[in-house]
Structures are given as structure tokens and as C-alpha cells.
Amino acid sequence: MKTKAVRLYGKNDLRLEEFQLPPIQDDEILAKVVCDSICMSSYKAAHQANVHKRVPRDIASNPVIIGHEFAGELVEVGAKWQSKFKPGFKFSIQPALNYEKGPVGVLSAPGYSYRYIGGDATYVIIPNEVMEQGCLLEYKGRGYYPGALSEPLSCVIGAMHANYHTTPGSYVHQMEIKQGGNMAILAGVGPMGLAAINYAIHRPDRQPKLLVVTDIDQTRLDRAALLYSPAEAAKNGIELKYVNTGSMSDPVTELRDLTDGKGYDDVFVFAPVAPVVQQADAILAFDGCLNFFAGPAKTDFTAPLNFYNVHYAFTHIVGTSGGNTADMQEAIHMMSEGLDPAGLVTHIGGLNAVIDTTLNLPSIPGGKKLIYTHIDMPLTPIAEFAERGKTQAVFKTLAEICDRHNGLWSVEAEEYLLAHADEVKE
């Protein structure tokens, strides 16, 4: 089986190539990738290359396929796994294997560490360790893009599960956000922040009473409010407020005032910016938990922390990087039950768009960049479909479909694109 894939050879050295996959072994599975969502982590891996902890040191001679937020369908199943998996199954993969025998040990992950599996490819070979670790997950929902976006959703699920609170006089940590508490998501209307809002207001088991989402970009705040409205949150008993801290003279005081001075039980930081971390620390309630979600690119990133409050107010800090398999299973279940992550997606492209998109991701505005790996298409904002549609029929119809879905991507749009777009060229 031939595949086309984007492979990493060195720092900023990504190449779209066609090559032959080896025959699968009895403990492997051949799969077709349909779509991959490009993550900032892929940008970091491409820029750091073999310095990155998940990337093997010998990529110059044994390049790896990038992309780890992907979905597709199984094509051929090796003998070992035929009782559990069948050709035609739609799948997503939990990439954080924690497998000691992988190419880089416990940090091995598809999309970083393997020669024959990654999301930015047409066909891949799923290695035995993915199945051994229970990381090949069946997706039973409609379409494919929700399966691909279940990985980023699992990251915010893991973050909320990782928060904890205490009881005075006890050393037992009660894991999870505080039920009926005050929650703040700072710098929270980027792609991952939107995923967190979507999860927080729709999860059935545990919810805040007040959810305050901040940013300094009013346009992005307005879009978030349209996608996940206060009225929608109120249906689930949550008071949702979107706040532009850039227009506040004293953000800490004004944010605390929204809680009648109590502060926030759970605060999530979605940008690696020192003043945002300080702000998060300053608005914590007694026994408040600060979750530093945003992964900084700089290894020496620091921010001041109020240790008086650590001692006397029991404030504490946690950090998470990705979700585990249970988080991924929860995400896929919610997607299969109808949770639509389309609000995260702002751009659509083909496999030919992966290299430029990945290497320049921080400078491309908007939310998630969704790649369909079997098609040839420049990375295009959904908002520009109508303009391109004046000269290209495919974009004209896509614009009409997206308009029917409140300007968002959809299963209908995906099905049309896959049926009518040009096939990817090397």
C-alpha cells in the first residue's frame, strides 16, 4: 500500500512524500486517515525536531509522520486483533501511549515518534502498542471530524478531572472541579478554550454555578458567545459571562466582584503569559485550584505566585498536558451522543496545506485548522468560502452548506467536500 504523508526530517524540515508502506504484521492494523486537526504541539515538534522529547533522535534518516488529532477507518486487521477490530470501523487514537518500548520510550506517541503512523497521511500502519494500551478507540458518531477533535476535547476533560480541592483538617484530595462552584477560564476563547467552554456547559455529571470566560479580543469573545451562549448554559443551570479584561481598569477586583468577593474555586489559564498567570492566582478563592493548561514554548517560563495564600488560604496549582485514555473515551462518547465540536474549526485544507500551516500556525488567526488528507485544497477560512465560490463551484456549495449551519463546519459539509474536492497530489 502506498501512502502520501508529511514527514519530519529536522528542524522546520517537513516534506510531503509518497512512499510504500511495508506489509502489516499479524499484530498491526492498516488504516485510512480521513482528517487531522493541526495542533500547536505539532508546530512545537516541527520547530524543535529531534530536540523534542517525543521525537526520535534519528529522524534525518528515519523521518516520522506528524499529526496526532486524527480519525479515519480501519482497512486491514492483523490476525492478533481480528476478534476485536473489523475493517470499516471508524476510529480515533489516544496518542499519549505511555509505552516503555516505543521509539522514544514512555513518551512515544503517534504523530511524533513513528515512521508509519501520524495524522497527516492518507494511509498508516497502527502498531501493536496502540492496541495493547487500549488507545485505538472506535468512534460511532456521524462524520469524521468529531472523532479527530475528540483528542483536543480529551485534553480539557483531563484538565478538569485533574483539579482538586481539600477539606480543612483532612489530607484527602477531592479530585475534580468544585460542583456548583465558581470557575474562570482566562484567555479562554482560542480553540482549546472553546473546547473547555463546550465541555463545561454540557457535561452531565459536574458543573460550576458561575463560569466566567475572559479574553482581550472582543471579536473572539463575541464569536464565543454566539457559539456557546449564556442562554444555552442557563438551560443547564450555569451562569455564563464573557468578559473583556482589556477594557477593565482593575481586572482582578472586577473579576472578584462577579463572585461577590469570594473568588474562584477553579481557574484555568489558557495562555502562557505571566500577567495572566498572576491574574489567575489573584482571583483564587479559599482552597482555589489554578490549572496552568497552556504549554509554554520557553523552558524558563516563570510567573510570581502568592505564597501567603498558598499557606493561609490553601490555594494550589496543577498542570496538565493532554488527556489519558479514559478522557479520550469520555470525549468520543460525548461526540457519539451528539456533542458537536464544529465551533472550534475555522479553516479547512488538504494534505498539501499541512507544511505551511504547521510551520506558521501561531501567525494564522482563528481556531482549529482541519485537514482532509486525501484532497488537494489550500488552507481556507470558512468565512472566505463565499468569496472563493464566485470562481470555484466547490467553494460556492460549501459556503451554502455552512450558511445553513450557522456559518459552521458540519457533517454535511464534510461529506460534500470528500465527494467533490480534487485528490491530493504529491
Domain spans of the chain, in order of start: 2-149+341-412, 162-319
**Whether residue 338 has pLDDT greater than 90:** no
Model confidence at 337, pLDDT cuts 50, 70, 90, reads confident
**Mean pLDDT (whole number) for 28-39:** 97
Which amino acid is it at 340? D
DSSP reduced 3-state for 49 = helix
Residue 319, amino acid: G
Is pLDDT above 70 for 340?
Answer: yes
Strand partners, 74: 31
pLDDT in tens, 115-157: 999 999 999 999 999 999 999 999 999 999 999 999 889 999 9
Distance CA 282, CA 220 (A): 24
The band of 168, judged by pLDDT with boundaries at 50, 70 and 90, is confident
Q: What average pLDDT score do residues 73-95 get?
A: 97
Pick from 235, 253, 251: nearest CA to 187: 251
Q: At what angle do helices 325-336 and 150-162 cross, to 10 degrees?
A: 120
Tell me: pLDDT of 399 over 70: yes
Residue 98 or 309, more confident? 309
Give me the pLDDT at residue 393, please. Answer: 95
Please compute the mean of the pLDDT values over residues 379-396 and round it to a whole number: 97
303 pLDDT more than 80? yes
Q: Domain 2-149+341-412 is of which CATH architecture?
A: Alpha-Beta Complex (3.90)
Q: What percentage of the chain's residues is helix, strand, coil (to nearest 5)?
A: 35, 25, 40
pLDDT at 76 over 80: yes
Q: Over 80: is that where the pLDDT of 3 sits?
A: yes
* Residue 297 confidence (pLDDT) above 80: no
pLDDT over 80 (residue 33): yes
* CA 15 from centroid of its chain's CA atoms: 24
Q: What is the pLDDT of residues 260-281, one digit of tens each?
A: 999 999 999 999 999 999 999 9
pLDDT over threshold 90, residue 200: yes
Structure confidence at residue 426 (pLDDT) = 62
DSSP states of 117-185: --SSBSEEEE-HHHHHTT-EEE--SSSSHHHHTHHHHHHHHHHHHH-EEE-TT---EEESSPTT-EEEE
pLDDT of 100 = 81
pLDDT tens digit sequence for 42-60 = 999 999 999 999 999 999 9
pLDDT exceeds cutoff 80 at 190: yes
How far, in Å, CA of 292 to CA of 128, rounded? 33
Q: Put residue 287 in one of left, alpha, beta given phi > 0 → left and psi -120 to 50 → alpha.
A: left
**Is 6's pLDDT higher than 80?**
yes
Fold of 162-319: Rossmann fold (3.40.50)
Name, in order, each residue with C-beta under 8 angstroms of 302's C-beta and a sequence gap of 6 or more.
274
Residue 203, class by beta-carbon neighbours within 10 Å (0-12 exposed, 13-18 middle, 19+ buried)? middle
- pTM strictly above 0.85: yes
Q: What is the mean pLDDT of residues 88-102?
A: 89
Q: What is the mean pLDDT of the chain?
A: 95
Residue 375 confidence class, pLDDT cut points 50, 70, 90: very high
